[in-house]
Structures are given as structure tokens and as C-alpha cells.
A and B are shown apart, each in its own frame.
Chain A
Amino acid sequence: MNRFWKCMGLCGCILALMACSESLGVDTVSPGYEVPDDERGSFDHPEIVGVGDAPSRPRSRLDIDQLNASIRQVTGGIGWEVSGVDQFEALSTTLGRPDYANSTTEDLDASPLFQKFLGDAARSVCSTLMQRERSGSAESIMLRHVNGTDTVASSPEAVDQNLRDLLLRFHGHVVEVSAPDLYHWRWLFETATDISGDPLEGWETVCVALITHVDFYTY
């Protein structure tokens, strides 16, 4: 079983290497979705900005306070907490926030260590968020346009609309209907749903991906 998932990861890496290729065989990955010709090889890259020689601002990683506040903002108040302890505070030094007694420079590298803890945070808050969505105890964030059984096959428009809302909420991207930007996200949701057999797990996977995505933790 584990070998199967390792293979899935490897396949993902292979896809990554093919990211900008026009020959990307997307239709074999997503059997329920016909990729229009004009979407093939036309991925949107909202943060690759052609600034040439003009003075510009380098992309920056969110500091720990921004990250903490932003995760709470997009999840409707859910923070990365263990036994009531805010983990971003507990790990603030490790995650780069200087204390100005022993360290005076803020480390804003998106280092492997940072990525590891961001992944931990994402899985924690997304799990809590989906529990809340299942209980219906608060305004829905992850299931605003879909229900717990909708899939790409059964409700493609609702899934797309949901993804568009989430991309705006988490990344600040305005994505048009049927825009190629949606392809990766639709693929992720659909694949996670296919594997788990549960669309809710598909949305939880999307949630984790949204938070661990470079467009979330940088600006």
C-alpha cells in the first residue's frame, strides 16, 4: 500500500517536471474532465511578473505573525493549536522570529524546516476546519457551493465555483469560470476524492494544498 502512494508522489513529481510543457497529457489524469484545447499548456502564473529591468519588489515569505493571523483569517478563526497552545508562538524562534535578546535578524527563508511546520499547521487547521464543516456549526468555507457528496463528475460547475472562491479567499486570485488556473486544483480535488472515496477528504486535501502553496505563504 505504501509503495502505491510513493508511486503517486513520484508521478506528481514527474508531472511537475512537465509543468509548462505543451504536451502535458492532462486528459489521462482527469477522465471526467475534457480539457479544452486552449487550456493545454496555458497555465496561469500570477506571481511570475515580467518586470524586466524595472525596479521591483522581491517576493517575501510571510512572517510568523502574518502567517498565524492569515491562517486564522482564511479558516474563520482556526489556529494551529495543540492543547490550547498556539504552535506558531511556541515555535516562533524556530520559525524565524527574532527575540531581540539572543537574535536580532528575522529569518524569512522558506526553508525545509519552515515547510515542514507549515505542513503540520495546514494539516492541523484543515482537519479542524473540515470537522467544523461536517458539523455545520459555522458558516461554510470549504463547502460553500458544494455538498459532501458532490464530485467533479456529478457537479463540475459547483466544484469549479467552490475552487474559485477558495482561490480568492486563500490566495487573492480572481479566477474566471473555466480558466486554466483551475486545472491543478480540480485535478487535486478529484484525485484525492477518487482515492479516498470521500469528497470531504478531497476538500481537506485542497485546504492543505492552499495553505502550503507558495501563493499563500509569500506575497
Chain B
Amino acid sequence: MDMWNEAGDMKTLRIGALLVGFVSLAVASSGWAQPLTNEDLVCAPERDTMSGTRYLRALSLHLRGVVPTEAEYRALDDDATLESLVSEWLESPEFEARFVRYHRSLLWNNISNIRIVSLSQQLGRSGDLYWAGNKARVFRGDRVSCRDEVVGTLEEALETVTEISAAGVERRRERAIMVEPYWAPGTLVKVCGFDAQEVAISARGTNCDSSDATNDAGCGCGPNLQRCTHSVQAQRLRSSFGLEIEQRLVAHLRAREPYHALFTSRRGFVNGPLAHFWRYQHFNSSGGTRMTPAQVDVEDLPVGIEYTDEDWYEIELNDAHSGVLTSPSYLIRFQTNRARAGRFYDAFLCEPFQPPAGGIPASSDEDNLIVDTQVRPGCAYCHAQLEPAAARWGRWAELGAAYLDPLRYPVMREDCQRCAQGQITCSLDCRFNYVTQSLSPSQQPYLGMLLAYEFRRPEHEAFVEDGPSRMVYEAIADGRLPRCTARRAFEWLVGREVHESEEAWLEQLAFDFTQGGFDYRSLVRAIVLDPTYRRLR
């Protein structure tokens, strides 16, 4: 060990040794140690509430995420100053960040582990050569790249050479050309000829902006590789979807909209990667996440947004949207309609779908043949409510974020009914979105119907067309949404569950929240200025 390191280690050791004693002393005297039973050893004095400066510190940490400055401590005269600061902080960008951070814990808006764009559109790289590994067999007859030789034109590049691999596979290999990729304008990257093809319609007549392109060697990535992604772009896209929901949260707060507008608004956002995705990449999502038909009208996207544009642009979505509940991030994070309903009921209505204490009774073999979980013994405990609730998302594709327009996706579709009856082959569209198989006679009446209508009671059928926003309004009307919002805010700020003795106060908070126009800042203000918050245990 050299001298420098030795000196550093000794210094660390010295500080460490001192701090062991000091911190132990502090912890023991702070009340986190075991309670002292001998009255002579009991620490004193005690106070009823936190001191003004410590209270200020707690408020600042909750509302701004950082401790106050010395100047703010010194400027604290009385409770009036403190209340004034609370009002100021509630309007600050830092509170917006805390609001967003808190809502992450409710919305779980991280989809970074989910593939959005299908693998056939995913470019890999061998050295500096870009090519789509998953489409290599379609292009070349083998999972191999093109020859690493750059030529001047695409026509030259597509002149293939047939060869036999070491494994005896016959394959054809083209050459590469230089392409200016959409993700780095002004630069050139080396791309295999098949992947660099630009046509919109292949020689076989395939629409290259559709899932059919997956199996057509005549469809490439399009001009500037616009249909394809590389891992960096794929991650940026996922991240953008996650951040989009946070843009909505911030915009909602800045617009001082009632809290429930989070779940009913038609506001959406795009940045460069999202605008590019909606324009050029959502078509081929078969095999990836289902994003077609797009929930965003491409014609409504702001003009001139480049892929590299990191700014966010507000867009107006169609009237089927229900705020964050139909945002791509929410729909992709919660891939089934049951999961979508389950998260909303748990996070925003405080009604988690859980079995009763002691569990549900074991079902018999006969019970297990009942396909409709709304009536199957045991399952019905949750599913009698969960299934109709899930139907609220019936117009949003599962395993994706596509919007199933009633015109294109009627309740009953003839081609899907015919394929369900074995008359024709089922299309992907039918298999994904309609009832095309029956496991029991009870499903027969629903063959050919949109999935969300399966086993729907007549009184619940409207749920599919009304969408989640209707459910939100119902939860406002019966008080569940404001009550749960107050409860969740209390849990966030006070850091524990509500005691039975505090239920009346919570009810008052919910009432005031409703009367005050669902102003979230006022709700937070009421909680942090209550003596309960200031009494620290």
C-alpha cells in the first residue's frame, strides 16, 4: 500500500471511529434506540409539535423534494410566513416534479422492458454494418448479413450472389450502400441493400407499411430507414412513451384542471421520436406490441417535428380517449383490460381486487367447466365486478395501445364470425380482437363478436362503448374517486394508512376536495397544514 492510500485510509478510519461513537450517541438520544425503562434515563423535554424550522424542512422536502435554504430558514417568522411559503411552493416547478414522482407510484409508467416495434423492423449492427437479423432469412434465405462491400446505388447493391453456407444452406447475398438515417441527419451509415429498400409497395404488391411486409423481401426500411429502429432508437421510443404520461400530469397541474380531468382529458403529447413512430413505424407492429390502428390521427400531428426534436408538443386526441387511462404508456404497461381496470381500482378508487381473508373456496371439477368467470364459484368474488370494469377498455387493443374504432371494428364482424365457424381462415385482425374460438357451448353466441362483448350482461354492454371516462364520472358521483384521492394523498404525505379515528377527517377532506373543484393543490395544502402532519412520531 502506498503512502497516499495509507494516509487516506487512516483518515477514513479516524473519521469512521469518531462517527461510530458520535452517531451512536445521536441515535441513542434521538429516540430510535430501544426505549429506556429507567425513569432517570428518560430523555426530556418533549414537545407537542415539530419546531417551526423542522416543520419548514419537512414541508420543503415533501413539496419541493429538497431541504430549504438557509435564507428560507432565517426568513421564517411565524406560521403565516410558513403558510405563505406552502402556497408558493405548491405553484413551483419543483412541486410539479413531486406530483409526477408521486403519480409514478400509481401509474407505474415504465415500459422500458417491452418491445414496441417488431423485431423484423429492428436493425442490428455487425461492426458498422446495419441489417435486420430477424428478416435476414426472408431477404437472403439464411440468418446472415449482406456482403460488407459498399456500392453507389441501391440497384447495384441488390445484385445478389448466390452461395452455399458451411451448413449447406443456399443463400443470396447483396451488397451495402450508405444511407442518411433519420436518427442522425447529416451523417451516413452503412446498410445492407435489402434493408435499405425505399419502396412503399413491393414488386409483389405488398404494402410495406403493414404487417404483411414482414414476409416480403421486397420491403425494406424505407427512405432514411424510417420504418426501422436500432436499439438506441427503440429505447428512446419506450422512454418517450413513459415520459408522455408525465407531460400530461404537468400540463394538467399547470392548467389548474380538476383532478379527475387526468382521467377524462383528450390531451396528448408527442416529441420527435413519438411523432416519428406514429408517422412511420406503428404499422408493422404485428409480432410486437399492437399499435395499429393508431390511437393518434397522423394527420393531426404537428408539422415539421424532426426525430431529433426533444421538445414536447400538445395534441388533441379523439373523443374516445380517457386521459392517462388510455395513454399508450398505461395501455402498454397494463396489457390486458383486467390489468387496466385492476390498476385503476386499486390506485384511484382504493378498491383492490383481492380475495377475502381465508381465500376463496376450492372449486369443483364441474365449476371449472364454467368459462364465464363472472359466475364461476370462487372466481366470481372478484370477476363479477372486474369483468364489467375491464370492458370499459374494450375499444383498446390488449397487448398494445391500438384504438378499435367502432366503424372498422363493429360489435359483430361477419368475416370474423365466418372464420370462427370454420368457413374461412381467420385474419390476424379477427384473432386478436374478436371471439373466434369457443371452449364451451356458453361461448357460442359470442363467436364473431368483439372480445369485450363476450359474456357481457345487457346492462354492461354500454360500458364498452362508453370507455373508462364514464367509469370515472360514476366514481365521482358516488364519491369513491374523491375519497380515494384524499386517502392516497394522506398516505403519501403523512406516510401511513389512515386510522379509523381519522376517517371522519378524511371524509371532510374528500368533501372539501369535491367542493373545491377537485383542486389537488388545495388537498395537499389541507393535509400538510393540519396538526397531524406536524406531529412527528
A interface residues, Cβ below 8 angstroms from B: 1-2, 5-6, 8-9, 11-13, 15-17, 19-22, 43, 45-51, 54-60, 62, 65-66, 69-70, 72-74, 98-102, 104, 106, 119, 123, 165, 168-174, 184, 187-188, 191-192, 195-196, 201, 204-205, 208-209, 212-215, 219
Contact = CB atoms under 8 A, between A and B. Distances in A.
B21 A49 contact: no
B495 to A, nearest CB: 5
Contact of A12 (B13, B24, B41): B24
A50 B30 contact: no
24 contacts: A1-B10, A8-B21, A11-B21, A16-B24, A16-B25, A19-B29, A43-B29, A43-B43, A45-B30, A45-B31, A47-B31, A51-B48, A55-B535, A58-B496, A62-B61, A65-B101, A69-B66, A100-B108, A101-B111, A119-B16, A168-B53, A173-B51, A196-B11, A219-B61
B99 to A, nearest CB: 13
B69 A73 contact: yes
A172 B68 contact: yes
Contacts of B66: 66, 69-70, 72-73
B537 A209 contact: no
Interface string B16-58: 1111111111111111100010001111101111110110111
Contact of A49 (B28, B50, B502): B50
Contact of B73 (A5, A172, A209): A172
A57 B21 contact: no
B494 A57 contact: yes
Nearest to A1: B10
Contacts of A58: 494-496, 536-537
B536 A56 contact: yes
A205 B537 contact: no
Contacts of A55: 499, 501-502, 532, 535
A172 B56 contact: yes
B65 A66 contact: yes
B47 A49 contact: yes
B535 A172 contact: no
Contacts of A188: 18, 22
A46 B54 contact: yes
Interface in B97-113: 101, 104-105, 107-113
Given A16-B25, A205-B19, A208-B15, A104 B537 contact: no
A56 to B, nearest CB: 4
A5 B17 contact: yes
Given A55-B532, A173-B53, A214-B32, 5 more contacts: A9-B21, A16-B21, A20-B43, A66-B66, A74-B67
